[in-house]
């Protein structure tokens, strides 16, 4: 095994903790200079190693390392880890078009063309967020597919609650908010079979901002990061994908709907909605068993199944 690989194994094992150059040199019976060169070679391979004078070397705790991520996601999910891509959802769709037919997870450190709902973009600078897309073969009808989006929101909420003491809320349909600012967006896309028109695969794209300081000034009033230094990206990916696997296995019963309702940011609030060419105002009265938003308007109660709402946060009714 090359020295750089041995150094990587050691640093990976001590993940997040420093090991001095002297210790590494002694362990491998080489000079400190040889260790330094091995670290430089690792960096050239794209491994994010921090070197601090008098402390030594460590893998950046936020680094995305394939073997680490593989160890925290459920078995049977093939991982595609990328340093940079336009969009992990687009990458997932390219994989499917190229014949990939299993359950897969595309993770990127950076997206140059991250996509959001309704043609919006999702800002995805390097090292500052979790950008990932899970590819699943649903094996169910399109009627159950409506729950995927709600299920994914609940999975993200559970993961954040598991790893932090934050209180995430869901803004219908599937944005996750903390303290009235969006920290996560979800973009679910179905890939249909051209011949039969049936849903072949579903790509569930999840973007979580880690740091508020990385959010551009022009959207700082509406978006924020998780801002919890104790959480690293690997843990977050593991927790979200694990929870996602749990909720996706319950799509038939959709037991998670109650949890979705409990975390609703908009229930009881005054909103404006747009749905195609239709728009209006009303008070959100609840969320039905199929994830539809029930809204009391001046013309009576309506149920929104898709579309977009905006809400004045921090104000009731
Ligand atoms: C939204 O806010 O409307 C949804 C944002 C979804 C962003 C994620 S990041 C990973 C995946 N790849 C994309 O291009 N989009 C999703």
pLDDT in tens, 115-142: 999 899 999 999 899 999 999 988 766 5
88 CB near ligand 1 (under 6 Å): yes
- The 3-state secondary structure of 236-296 reads HHHHHHHHHHHHHCCCCCCCCHHHHHHCECCCCCEEEEEECCEEEEEEEEEECCCCCEEEE
Asked if residue 101 has pLDDT above 80, the reply is yes
In this model, does residue 22 exceed pLDDT 80?
A: yes
| Rounded average pLDDT over 98-104 | 94
**Is 264 in contact with 153 (CB distance < 8 Å)?**
no
Q: Which residues contact 249 (CB under 8 A, 6 or more apart)?
A: none
Hey, whose CA ends up nearest to atom 2 of ligand 1?
185
For ligand 1, the distance from its centroid to the CA atom of residue 173, given in whole angstroms, is 14
| 296 Cα to the center of ligand 1, angstroms | 30
CB of 89 sitting under 6 A from ligand 1: yes
pLDDT at 161: 98
Q: Is the dihedral of CA 10, 11, 15, 18 positive or negative?
A: positive
Q: Which of 84, 85, 89, 244 to mutate to test the pocket of ligand 1 (most atoms within 8 A of CB)?
A: 89
Please give the mean pLDDT across all residues of the chain. Answer: 92
Share of the chain above pLDDT 70, in %: 96
The pLDDT value recorded for residue 12 is: 87
Best residue among 131, 209, 215, 237 to mutate for probing ligand 1's pocket (most ligand atoms within 8 Å of CB) is 131
Please state, in angstroms and rounded to a whole number, the distance separating the CA atoms of residues 198 and 189: 13
Average pLDDT for 166-185:
96
The DSSP secondary-structure symbol of 226 reads -
Range list of H helices, the chain: 3-13, 21-28, 32-44, 66-72, 88-97, 142-163, 233-248, 257-262
Residue of 50 and 145 predicted with greater confidence = 50
Write out the DSSP string of 195-221. TT--EEEEEEEEEEE--GGGS-GGGTT
Q: Ligand 1 center to residue 122 CA distance, Å?
A: 6
**From the CB of residue 70, how many other CB atoms can be counted at a distance below 10 Å?**
15
Pairing assessment for the beta strands 169-171 and 56-59 based on DSSP bridges:
unpaired
Residue 317: its pLDDT value, please? 36
The confidence score (pLDDT) of residue 11 equals: 93
Residue 192: the pLDDT is 82
The least confident of 31-35, 50-54, 258-262, 275-279 is: 275-279
- What local confidence, expressed as pLDDT, does residue 200 receive? 85
Mean pLDDT of 188-197: 80
8-state DSSP, 120: -
Confidence class for position 15, pLDDT limits 50, 70, 90: confident
Structure token digits, residue 149? 């989006």
Question: Which atom of ligand 1 is the closest one to the Cα of 113?
Answer: 14
Please write the tens of the pLDDT for every residue from 44-73. Answer: 887 889 999 999 999 988 889 898 899 999
Least confident of 102-116, 136-150, 208-222, 238-252: 136-150
At residue 315, the pLDDT reads: 46
The model's confidence at residue 316, banded by pLDDT at 50, 70 and 90, is very low
pLDDT at 16 over 60: yes
Q: How confident is the model at residue 196 (pLDDT cuts 50, 70, 90)?
A: confident
CB 110 near ligand 1, within 6 Å: no
* Rounded distance between C-alpha atoms, residue 24 and residue 12, angstroms: 13
CA dist., res. 190 & res. 192, Å (int): 6
**pLDDT for 275-309, tens place per residue?**
878 889 999 999 999 999 999 999 899 999 888 89
Task: List the one residue out of 61, 72, 84, 70 whose CA is nearest residue 12.
Answer: 61
Report pLDDT for 144. Answer: 67
The confidence score (pLDDT) of residue 307 equals: 85
188, 314, 311, 144 alpha-carbon torsion, rounded to 10°: 30
Q: Contact 160/226 with Cβ under 8 angstroms? A: yes
User: How much distance in Å is there from the Cα of 162 to the middle of ligand 1?
Assistant: 22
Of residues 274 and 23, more confidently modeled? 23
Say yes or no: CB of residue 57 within 6 Å of ligand 1: no
Tell me what the mean pLDDT of segment 254-265 comes to: 94
Nearest atom of ligand 1 to the alpha carbon of 175: 2
Nearest alpha-carbon partner for 266 in 290, 291, 243, 240: 291
Question: 21 - beta bridge partners?
Answer: none
Measure the CA–CA gap between 260 and 287, rounded to whole angstroms: 9
Query: Ligand 1 mean position to 175 CA, how many Å?
Result: 10
How far away, in angstroms, is 19 Cα from ligand 1 center?
37
- pTM for the model stands at 0.89
Question: Which ligand 1 atom is nearest residue 132's CA?
Answer: 10
List the one residue out of 191, 246, 214, 194 whose CA is nearest residue 114.
Answer: 214
What confidence score (pLDDT) does residue 181 get? 96
Task: Give CA–CA dist 32/40, Å, rounded.
Answer: 12
CA–centroid distance, residue 5 to ligand 1 (Å) = 34
Q: Please tell me the distance between residue 249's alpha carbon and the centre of ligand 1 in angstroms.
A: 23
Is 32 close to ligand 1, i.e. is its CB under 6 Å away?
Answer: no
């Amino acid at each position: 095994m090359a020295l750089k690989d041995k150094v990587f194994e050691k640093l990976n094992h001590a993940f997040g903790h420093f090991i001095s150059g002297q210790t590494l040199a002694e362990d491998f019976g080489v000079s400190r200079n040889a260790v330094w060169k091995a670290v430089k070679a690792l960096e050239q391979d794209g491994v994010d190693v921090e070197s601090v004078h008098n402390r030594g070397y460590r893998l950046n705790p936020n680094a995305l390392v394939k073997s680490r991520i593989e160890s925290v996601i459920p078995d049977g999910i093939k991982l595609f880890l990328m340093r940079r891509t336009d969009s992990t959802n687009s990458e997932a769709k390219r994989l499917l078009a190229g014949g990939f037919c299993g359950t897969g997870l595309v993770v990127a450190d950076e997206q140059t063309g991250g996509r959001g709902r309704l043609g919006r973009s999702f800002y995805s600078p390097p090292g500052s967020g979790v950008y990932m897309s899970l590819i699943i073969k649903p094996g169910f009808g399109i009627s159950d597919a409506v729950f995927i989006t709600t299920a994914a929101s609940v999975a993200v909420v559970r993961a954040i609650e598991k790893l932090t003491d934050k209180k995430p809320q869901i803004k219908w349909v599937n944005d996750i908010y903390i303290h009235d600012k969006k920290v996560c967006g979800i973009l679910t896309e179905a890939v249909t079979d051209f011949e039969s028109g049936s849903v072949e695969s579903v790509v569930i794209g999840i973007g979580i901002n880690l740091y508020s300081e990385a959010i551009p000034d022009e959207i700082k009033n509406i978006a924020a990061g998780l801002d919890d230094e104790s959480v690293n990206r690997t843990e977050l990916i593991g927790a979200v994908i694990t929870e996602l696997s749990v909720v996706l296995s319950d799509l038939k019963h959709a037991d998670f709907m109650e949890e979705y309702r409990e975390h609703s940011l908009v229930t009881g609030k005054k909103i404006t909605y747009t749905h195609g060419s239709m728009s209006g105002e009303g008070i959100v009265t609840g969320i039905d068993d199929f994830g539809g938003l029930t809204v009391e308007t001046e013309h009576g109660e309506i149920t929104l199944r898709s579309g977009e709402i905006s809400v004045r946060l921090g104000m009731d009714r």
